[in-house]
Amino acid sequence: NNQNSSTLTNSRLGRTVPPMKWRQWLLRPSLWVALASILAYWDEDALRGHFIYDDDGSIRLNPVVNGQAPWTEIFTRDFWGTPMKDVKSHKSFRPITTLSFRLNWKLFPLSPEEQGDKVPGEDRTRGTYSFHVVNVALHGIVSGLVTEVSWFIFPDGGPEDIIAQIVTGFVFGLHPVHCEAVSNVTSRGELFMSFFFLLAFLSYASKIHSGRQPEKSFNSFAAIYIYPWICMALSLFSKEQGASTLITLVVYDFLHNHFSLIKLYQSIRQGKERAIAFVRRAVVLALETLIVCGWRYWLNGETKPDFIFDQNPAGFAVDRFTRAFS
């Protein structure tokens, strides 16, 4: 166990270590958390559950998912299949999620009866199986990544830290709050958003976690600035909350390596390279966030979404506090 922990720690700090053998992979907490998270949702009745609520609009009746429109129009239509420039568009642009629905439909198509509007729900369950399986698999992967991320909070590799990683992963993977994101097919965007968010974190944290200045190389530059930026864009285009990805990395960087604004300010005035490097990273990541979010705003066209009460009850609340903080 000590050898495995040492190997993991060294790899996290960017040192050269031998490739991990399959037995070592079997000892990783993230693998067992992922499997448990999948098994928790692996119920045949649930996997064959109906399309419900928003599933009809986002999948069954969506022209870019069911093949009535070319797949390339995924990049010009909103999540519900309406052209982004249309005044009636919802403006929820999630092409990564929609593309995954299109692939699901292409590889495991619904029968004509299952696609019909007036066919009873129980006759439309067979085609939903692959959609649910993908959601469950994604949840397992995300739960495993959460466990990997928890290493940066419990990094020493001792028995207590390994237990803490396992507990963190299981709490996330088995918590019922994720039931809707996994079981409701339309909520796949949350799974993809989390997947790319966590990949960005792992890339960034692997280079700045040690507290030392990252080595000046292309690999370090890409891990800090390029890979997280790409992941942030993919996360945003899976679901809108992905816009917070790079901001979260800056917050983690500050809390882990500085924690105090006063000390950070003093270090900057003293010209300490570590503090200056943090400010440089924060500025670059902020600019990258503005670029992607500006691009996303531009894609909305010249019209704004016109919500009704059922789509966004909080937006119609009389109390201003409720509207602002919801």
Q: Mind listing the pLDDT tens digit for each residue in 127-152?
A: 788 899 999 999 999 999 999 999 88
Residue 214 CA to residue 209 CA, distance in Å, equals: 9
Q: 13: phi > 0 → left, psi -120 to 50 → alpha, else beta; which? A: alpha
Q: Report pLDDT for 19.
A: 57
Q: Report pLDDT for 5.
A: 42
Which residues have C-beta within 8 Å of that of residue 148, sequence separation ≥ 6? 30, 198, 202
Q: Report pLDDT for 41.
A: 92
Give 270: exposed, middle or buried? Use CB within 10 Å, 0-12, 13-18, 19+. exposed
114-123, 174-183, 213-222: the lowest-pLDDT one = 114-123
Work out the pLDDT band at 211, boundaries 50, 70, 90.
Answer: low
In degrees and rounded to multiples of 5, residue 88 shows phi and psi of: -90, 0
**pLDDT higher than 90, residue 161:** no
Instruction: Give the chain's mean pLDDT.
Output: 83
Higher pLDDT among residues 229 and 9, named by residue: 229
**pLDDT higher than 90, residue 199:** yes
Q: Report pLDDT for 60.
A: 84
**pLDDT higher than 60, residue 238:** yes
Higher pLDDT among residues 119 and 38, named by residue: 38
Q: Report pLDDT for 87.
A: 76
Work out the pLDDT band at 239, boundaries 50, 70, 90.
Answer: very high
**pLDDT higher than 50, residue 10:** no
Helices (H) and strands (E) in the chain, counts: 18, 0
Both tokens assigned to 239: 């679901």
Mean pLDDT across the stretch 103-120? 67
Residue 183 CA to residue 192 CA, distance in Å, equals: 14
Work out the pLDDT band at 302, boundaries 50, 70, 90.
Answer: low
Both tokens assigned to 190: 């949350």
Q: Please name which of 231, 205, 233, 230 lies closest in space to residue 220, comparing C-alpha atoms.
A: 205
Mean pLDDT across the stretch 74-102? 87
Both tokens assigned to 50: 């109906």
Q: What confidence tens digit (pLDDT) does each residue in 16-29 have?
A: 445 556 666 677 88
3-state secondary structure at position 156? coil
Mean pLDDT across the stretch 190-205? 95
**pLDDT higher than 60, residue 116:** no
3-state secondary structure at position 83? strand
Global pTM value: 0.82
What is the end-to-end Cα distance of the chain in Å, rounded? 46
Residue 242 CA to residue 262 CA, distance in Å, equals: 30
Which residues have C-beta within 8 Å of that of residue 243, sequence separation ≥ 6? 232, 236, 289, 292, 293, 296
Q: What confidence tens digit (pLDDT) does each residue in 85-98 have?
A: 877 778 888 999 99
Both tokens assigned to 133: 């399986």
Both tokens assigned to 131: 């959609």
Q: What confidence tens digit (pLDDT) does each residue in 259-300 have?
A: 888 888 888 888 888 888 888 999 999 999 999 999 988 888
Q: What confidence tens digit (pLDDT) does each residue in 36-57 have?
A: 999 999 988 888 888 888 888 8
Max avg pLDDT among 70-84, 243-257, 309-323: 243-257
Q: 283 and 246 in contact (C-beta within 8 Å)?
A: no
**pLDDT higher than 80, residue 246:** yes
Q: Report pLDDT for 21.
A: 66
